[in-house]
Homo-oligomer: A and B are copies of this chain.
Amino acid sequence: MADHALNPALRDALEALLGPDLSTNPSILDQHGHGESHHPSRPPAAVAFVETEEVLVQVVRLCQQHHTPMVAFGAGTSIEGQLQCVEGGLCIDFSRMNRILQVNPGDLNCVVEPGVTREQLNQHLRDQGLFFPVDPGANASLGGMVATDASGTTTLRYGGMKHNVLSLHAVLANGDTIVTGSAARKSSAGYNLTELLVGSEGTLGLISRIQLKLYGIPEQVLAARVCFPSVHDAVMTVINIMQYGLAVSRLELLDACSLQAVNQYCQTDYPQRPTLFMEFHGSDAVVTEQAATAQSICEENGGEAFISATSEEEKKHMWHARHNAYYAALAQVPNGRGWVTDVCVPISRLADCIDATQADLEAENLAIPIVGHVGDGNFHLLFSIPPDDHERLQQAQRINQRLIARAHEMGGTCTGEHGIGLGKKSYLLQEKGETTVAVMAALKQAMDPLHLLNPGKIF
C-alpha cells in the first residue's frame, strides 16, 4: 500500500477539487479493491466519487500530470479481477454519476450516465412501455456493462452490450473526451471506436455517457420450463432449437445440482433434474406458436412436464431459480466466494463440451452446479471456495484449465461474457496467439501511452 500512496501534490489537488468526495477511509478503499469474485482485494490509494463529466475530466487530467493509475468502478459486480488496483492509484467511482439524461421513445433509445444501473433504467422506462434487455444477472452499472461487454439471458434475442450501444462519450487517459457512434441506427463513419471501447475493461478510456438502444415491452411474454432425463438430452434439445432457427428470447440450463442448491437457498421445490428455462417474446399468436414448437422439440428429446406461464407472478417464480443460482451455489459452502468458469463454444459442440466437463468433475469427485446461457453456447461452473482453501482453488484452476483447452479445441473462447481482467490473461494469449495480443497491446499503447488506465489488465 505505502508504495502506492498518492503523490502528495496530487492528493492536495484532488482534495481541493473534490472535498469530501475524495475518500481514503480504509473500509471504502477495501470495498473498491475487488468485484464479486475470488481475486484478492487490491485497494486503491484513494477513491474519487465523481458526479459530472466536467469533474471527471479534471480528475483524469490531474492523474495524468502525476502519472497515477486510474481504475473505474461502477457497481462492483465484475468477476475476473477487473477492479483490482494492482498498481494502487485512484479508483474513480461512478455510482453517483447516475442520471438518466434522455429517453427518446420515438427513436427507441436513451442517454444515460455510466453509474445508472440496469434495474434503475428499467424501472424508469416501465411506464413508457420500453425496456433495456441486456441482463447479466447482477444489478450492474451500465458503464461497467459497456466496459466488460456484458451479456446474459436475453442475448440470444437482443444481443449483448456491443449490439445495443449506439454511441459513447469516453474520457481518454490525457483528459480528452471523444464521442463515438451516432444517434442513427447505423453508421460507417470511420473506425468503429464504440465497439473498441465496449469490452475494453477500462483500459482505453473512461465511459462518461452512453446512448443505448431500447425495445418496446413485448405484447406477450411466455416463460416455460421443462425437465430432462440428463443434461445431455437438455443440451441436444438446445442444439435442435437453435438449428431449427426458433426465435427464442431466453434459453437457459440449470443442472440438477444447481436446482438442489436453489431449493436449499430459496426454500423452493423445483424438480431436482436438468431443466431448461425458456422465454418467448412477441404477439399472443406468435409466442403461442413458438412455445408449441419448442415443446414438441423438447418432447422429441425426452423432455417432460413442459410448464408454461404468462402471468407476471408465475413467470417471476419460474425465473427465480435462474436468478438465484449464483448466490445459491455460493451458499453451499460456508464462507465460499464465487469462482466461475465462462467458456463459450459453437452450439454444435455444446453437448460434447458439457459431457466431457461433467466427466471431468466426476473424476474429481465433485458436484458443481452447471448453469448456462446455452442458446449462445455459453455455460458456467459455479465453484464456491473459501478464500483460504488453496487446495480447492487449485483444483478449480486445473478443471478450468482443462475446460478452456477443451473449448479452444472446439473453436470456442475462454470467456463468453466475463472478460479477461486479471484471471484470464494467460488464456487470452493461448486463444489469440502472440501476434494478435501484440496488436491489442499496440492499440493500448496508442491510446494510453503512460499505461494509466486500469494497468495490469487484459495483457
**Footprint of B on A, CB under 8 Å?**
104-109, 148-149, 151, 155, 159-160, 162-163, 172, 176-180, 182-193, 195-196, 198-200, 204, 215-216, 218, 239, 242-245, 247, 282-283, 285-286, 289, 344-348, 376-378, 407, 410-420, 424, 427-428, 431-433, 435-437, 439-440, 442-447, 458-459
Contacts and interface: CB of A to CB of B under 8 A. Distances in A.
A435 B178 contact: yes
B437 A442 contact: no
Given A436-B193, A446-B445, A104 B348 contact: yes
Given A416-B187, A445-B446, A458-B190, A196 B199 contact: no
A93 B239 CA distance: 39
A417 B188 CA distance: 5
B347 A189 contact: no
Given A432-B189, A435-B178, A162 B195 contact: yes
B413 A187 contact: yes
A413 B106 CA distance: 18
B179 A433 contact: yes
A192 B195 contact: yes
28 contacts: A104-B346, A106-B346, A106-B347, A106-B348, A149-B192, A151-B188, A177-B435, A178-B432, A178-B433, A179-B433, A185-B347, A185-B377, A185-B378, A186-B344, A188-B420, A189-B415, A190-B428, A190-B432, A190-B440, A190-B458, A191-B200, A192-B196, A218-B245, A247-B282, A286-B286, A439-B447, A443-B446, A443-B447
A344 B192 contact: no
Interface centre among A188, A204, A285, A417 (most CB of B within 10 A): A188
A155 B187 CA distance: 12
Given A192-B149, A459-B190, A344 B411 contact: no
Given A163-B163, A216-B245, A417-B186, A442 B431 contact: no
